[in-house]
Every structure is written in C-alpha cells, then in structure tokens.
Structure 1
Amino acid sequence: YSPYDGKIYQGYMYTDNGFWDTFRAQFPLSNILHPQMQGRYMQSLLDAQQQYGFFPTWSNPGMSGVMLGNHAISLLSDAWIKGIKNFSADSALKAYFHEATNKGPWGGSNGREGWENYFTRGFVPLGKVHESTAKTLEYAYDDFCAYNLAKASGNKYYEEIFSRQMYNYKYVFDSSVNFMRGRAGNGDWLPNFDPIEWGGAFTEGNSWQYTWSVFHDPKGLIDLIGGEERFNTKLDSFFTMEPTIKYGTYGHEIHEMKEMVLAKMGQYAHGNQPTQHVAYLYNYSGQPWKSQRQVRMVCDQLYNATPKGYPGDEDQGQMSSWYVLSALGIYSVCPGTDQY
C-alpha cells in the first residue's frame, strides 16, 4: 500500500525517515552494512517519486515536507558510488531535476522553496522563504550530489547542468564578517548580524554553526575564510568559545540550544545534525591531529552506555551512526562520495 497515492503496488516501501538528519551518517553506514536492503530502499525512493511527483524527504508514512533540502539525491548518489546500482541513475537525475525546479504542496522540503532565485541569482533571499541561507547551503550540496551521480553514471547532460549551481554557497558568505549570512531580496546583507543568534536565515542553529556547511568543497571554504591559518583559528574558536545563546527568531530556548550548552564544546552542537561533520574539517586544513582529538572528545564525553547515552535525539539512527563511523575511523564528511 502506497501512502503517497493510496494504491497497491508490488515491491518494497520504506517510510518514517527524515533525510535532513540521516543523509549525514545513517545512510552512508547502512549503504556499507546492508547493500541489498539499501538497494531496495533506493528503488522505493524512485517508486515514491513516481507515485506522488516528488521525492519523500520526511515520510511518516506519507509526505510531511518538514525540514529542508532535497537530500534524497544524497542517498541515491551515496548508494551508487558504493556500488548499489539496482536503480536507474538517469531516472534519479531526471526526478531530482524536477525536484530542484519546482515547489510541491507539502512543506519546505517538498520540491524546493525559492528555487527561482537560487537558479537565477545564486541564493535564496530571506523574506517569503524562511531559513533561506540554510536552504541555499543545502541546495548547493544536493546539486553537487546530483553532479557526482551524473558524472559517475556517464550522464553528461545533468553533469553540466548541476555543475553550475554546486558552488552557490559562495553567494551567502560575507567576507566582511567572515561568516555565512542572510541576504535580502535586493542582495543586501541583512542588518544587525550576530553569528550566535539562532534562527532567521538558519535552521535550528546560527551562523557559527552553518558557516561550515560546505560538505562538498572544504578547500573552497578554507579559501573564502582566508587560508588554512585563519580557518584553523576560526575552528579553534568554534570549539572553545563560550556556549552563549541568543534565541533570535525562536524567541525561547529550544532543546538543541540546551544540548549545546550542556556539551560545553563552544558553539559545537553535537545534539543536532548541522555541525556533526565539523570536527573532521581540520583534516582539510593541515592539522589532522586536532580532528583526532576533537572526535575522541565527542565520543568519550557525549556518549556512554547508559539510558542517557546520547547527547540529543537519536533521530532515526543518525546519532548512533555518527558514533559507529567515528569509532571505525571512516567518517564521510561528504556523503555521496567515496571519500572518508
């Protein structure tokens, strides 16, 4: 039974998963451990897209459209790169192109909010579209995944199309403050900028946390920030500064804020997903020993074998998958690639 169109089909159907959380570690780990099941999962994504017109992003059991991004393409790209090829890459790319150039009726991640501005101007302005800078950053990553899938499967048409947008993260980096920042419809930077203020142009986080959300091009981010020395200094500050909070547009404390404060690791908020790759970024900036130290600190201080052993929501296996991959030493900063 399909919760997307109410009809009966042969095949597999998977549901109750939020890809905004799980594309980061849960699917990369499962693609290694359970390739047969994951092959069925990838085909079920394409089946759902055919039944409803859009990929599921947070199904329970049908479309909910909550959160942001078009991360089904991350799952498909990661599976293909890992040798799970029982689905049509061309069909996946065609479906994703439709996803990236339309807005569905269900929530912010059903289709793509602000896609016209993203394609024509390079960024989503804050206004009618909330959390616009977070969306710009995640759209750029998703477009990279589509580019990588197209390249790996030999589809030159979509490889060329998505090569145009995957660096759009640069349009929301303000070099005058050295942070990712919200932009207005006229292109101006939003006033009264404070990198520790939550919400606004960001989702469940602030600019300190989202500035690192360039999974697919850390070297490009290092260049934007001013080179390896300035990048490392900024990373050091991120992990060691006071865990100060400004509620911003949330207007009150949400549990992700409280978890960040309790962790006592600066603005690093392991209890939520957007920063969970950041400890690994020293590997790209010439100081890998700092990544080794920080990852061990997270594993040792924020996880334990008790009923309170997670530093936040389990989020459909994401929190535990981060630990498993980190303990094994094969964490994927950029899911959708074969790099660890």
Structure 2
Amino acid sequence: MARVKLSNIDKSYGAQQVIHNVSLDIEDGEFAVFVGPSGCGKSTLLRAIAGLEGISRGQVMIGEEDVTRKAPSERNVAMVFQSYALYPHMTARENMDFGMKINNFPAEERSRRITEAARVLQLNDYLDRKPGQLSGGQRQRVAIGRAIVKNPKVFLFDEPLSNLDAKLRVQMRVELEALHRQLNATMIYVTHDQVEAMTMADKIVVLNEGRIEQIGPPMELYHRPRTEFVAGFIGAPAMNFIDLRPSQGTARVGLGARLAQAGAAAKLGIRPEHMVITEAGKGDFDATVRLRETLGGDAYLYVTLADGTSLVVRADGDTAIDAGQVIGLSLPPNRLHFFDAQGLALRSGGKPH
C-alpha cells in the first residue's frame, strides 16, 4: 500500500475551473472519504488520482513516485465504479481473472488471488455464476474482488453503493469497513452521502465548488466545523441555523431571548439532537410544532419560531408531542456554534475559529 499526496491541483475544462488549488495527504493504510454535493469536484479529483482525468496544474504522488503524467495502467491503483461494469457473458471468476489474464499473470498465481479474494468477500459459492444470476450486492462484491486481485497500492471507490437499496447499502458499508481492516489498505472513497462518510472514514475531505472546506476525522468535523457549509453538511438531520439580530452587542433570536455574547456572529447553529425540549414559556424561546416524524427510537419535530424560522428538533421516539402543540426550546451554551457573515466559524466571544 502507499501514501497519496496531492499538491496544488487545478483542473479546468476550457475556461471553467472545477478544481481549485487542492493539496491533500492521505496516509498509508488510511480510509479517506471525499464528500460533498453534486458538482463539488469529488469524482473529478478521484479520477485525477486514477489518471482517468488529466490535471491542469499540480502534482500527484503515489508512494514515492510522481505519477502526474503517467497512464492509469502505470499507477498501480484499482478503481471500483458506481456501475459494476462486469462482462455479462463471463462468470464472476472470469470477470476477476480477465485483467490478470490479459497482463499474462501465471495461471497458478491468478487462481491463488481469485481464491483469496473470494474468501475475503464471501464469494466462494458464486464464482461460477454470471452477473445476471447475482444480486446487486454480490455483483458489487465481484467488482471489488476484481480490484483486490490486482493487489494495488491504492483502492479508489466512486460512489460504489449508490445503486443498492437502503438495507443493502448498510450491509455493504459494514463489509467495506471490515475489508479495509483486513487488508490494511489505502482506500479513497467518493460519496455524496454524509452518513457513509461519517461511518466509514478515518479522514473526511469535505469539498465545495472544487475547493476543500475542511479535512479531519468524522467527529472533529461534527463537533468543530470550520464553516457554515461543513456544519450544515455533516450530521443527519442537518444543523439548524438561526439568523442573529444584534441588539446592544448581544445576540438575539426568535422572541428576543438572550443567548450569548456572539460578537461578530451573523448566524447561530445548533444540531437537532442538542436542543432541549421544555414547557412553553420556560425555554430560550417557544416554537410551534408543524410535523412529527417518528422513526422508532427517535422522533423529529419540525417546528417554527415566532419570526418564521424553521428548525428540526430530535425527541424520544415515544414522545406525545404532536403537530399544533407549542413547546419551549432551550439551547445549551456549550452546544452552540457561531458563524460570521462569510460563513466562517467563530469561537466563543466572536473570534475566528
């Protein structure tokens, strides 16, 4: 396996620049996840590492080797795509064997690698079936197996679970995490799903409009987002944001409850799970419940403040609170996030993060 180092990467299509001066280190054996909304550049960046996209400026290092101008076949990486891209007329075994066969690997070595990959991916019973005889999850495992037999320095995954149903996505997430631990491999994974990012990553790279917003472990991004964008993207449901109304240096919101000395803050953020439900008139402000969404152990209350601000509040799944009810909400000071007019996080007292 190998370290991946990107230095000052730019990528343009004609006059349109889609990647802006991206520098990033991914350590040997690390599971890094590129996450962000559609069009943020995450797949383009992954394809640049693979060599499937040329770059306009910068350097790509894999291990100690500069691969910036090298062809994909010379980079010793393996890529798993959103589509399984399996040959329908070949069995699972033949699909995994194909790349090695055309590269003249010895038959004994090919067989050994396929056997080991099938064991790791629990595909032994399906090796002689064609893709049309396999479920979506089994096909995805064959595609991953085709990558494993290459014994690459780096595994690249481009939204590999997006075609699977919800239950199978959860199962495959668990299997990919186990595979990473078993192989101790360097893996780079692209997704728009922040739940996948939070549950799988050692390191999350949040991208927005071709720029890196923040890099760090999942819980660091959850607890200490550096920008309003990261705060709103990481976490499910998303963080609530409330426009602040400065009044004599004190931040005010909704009904005018005093919250904190917010300095230059333009917005306050608080996650649904951190708001405390109280009786009407006993919290920082009151809110009217518009909708209750019950998910079993949890319920989400969609509420509106007096000034029209909409928030989401997590409650116990057995709560009796329902639409039309007025509740009080308290905001624990240690759970508050403040952001300036440019969307940058502020520390307590209104200082930059």
TM range (shorter): under 0.3
Q: Which structure has more helix as a fraction of its residues?
A: 1
| TM-score normalised per structure 1 | 0.27
Structure number with higher strand proportion: 2
